[in-house]
Amino acid sequence: MNQSKKPATGKLFAGSRGFDPTTIVMQILALQLAYYSSLLISVLIVDACSGLRPHLAQIFTPLPYSDLSARYGWATVSATWLNLPFVVIWQSVIVEKASKCLDFTVTILFIHFFIMWIYEGWPGWQFSFWLNYVIWATVTVLLCESLCMKLETQEIKLTINDLLEHSAQSAKKLFASAA
């Protein structure tokens, strides 16, 4: 009998490490925290520029999407889109894999919709609400995958000269900022 040794865990979710649910749950929690933190900051910035008072309904209800002609409607949509680059950056830092961007983006939105449902009830079938989030998710996934692929394919320099040069540049920056 010729049995080859197979790893106890597969490569389904975490590469050669195998399936690691703890890491996945922690990544989801970190991304959700980053999503809501940057969304809150985006809402505050847009509302301050618009002269509006920030309201929790801008984050957890679909009401602003029902009347885009209202000031809160455009402020909420603007804040959602202002949040997009932050989500892309956080996702590329936390997840690091282009193949996982779609999964984590959909998970962020699924949890967001679930919290909206608890807060206000089911968002309903408002066309502008779903259109905004479908386009937002699509753009987020494409940008995140692009950034992650770029980061994944960067050349890793491990020669001693490159390490010394990098250390010297870091030291110069450190001393320049201290002066």
Per-residue model confidence as pLDDT tens digits over 39-84: 999 999 999 999 999 988 888 888 887 776 677 888 989 999 999 9
Q: Is residue 6 part of a domain?
A: no
Q: Is residue 67 part of a domain?
A: yes
SS3 51: coil
Q: Is residue 1 part of a domain?
A: no
Distances (CA, A) of 80 to 44, 99, 131, 150: 11, 24, 13, 25
Is residue 26 pLDDT above 90, yes or no? yes
Distance of CA 74 to the CA centre of its chain: 22
Going by pLDDT thresholds of 50, 70 and 90, the confidence category of residue 15 is low
Is residue 151 pLDDT above 70, yes or no? yes
Long-range CB contact pairs, 102-108, < 8 A, 24+: 102/141, 102/145, 104/27, 104/28, 104/31, 105/137, 105/140, 105/141, 105/144, 106/137, 107/28, 107/31, 108/28, 108/31, 108/32, 108/35
**Which residues constitute the domain of residue 92?**
15-178
Residue listed under structure tokens 């997009």: 84
Is residue 169 pLDDT above 60, yes or no? yes
Q: Is residue 4 part of a domain?
A: no
Q: Is residue 144 part of a domain?
A: yes
Distances (CA, A) of 164 to 103, 157, 167, 174: 39, 11, 5, 15
Q: Is residue 145 part of a domain?
A: yes
Which residue did the predictor score with more confidence, 49 or 1? 49
* Of 108, 87, 104, 86, residue with least CA distance to 95: 104
**Count of structural domains, the chain:** 1
What pTM value is reported for the model? 0.73
Q: Are 8 and 18 in contact (CB under 8 A)?
A: yes
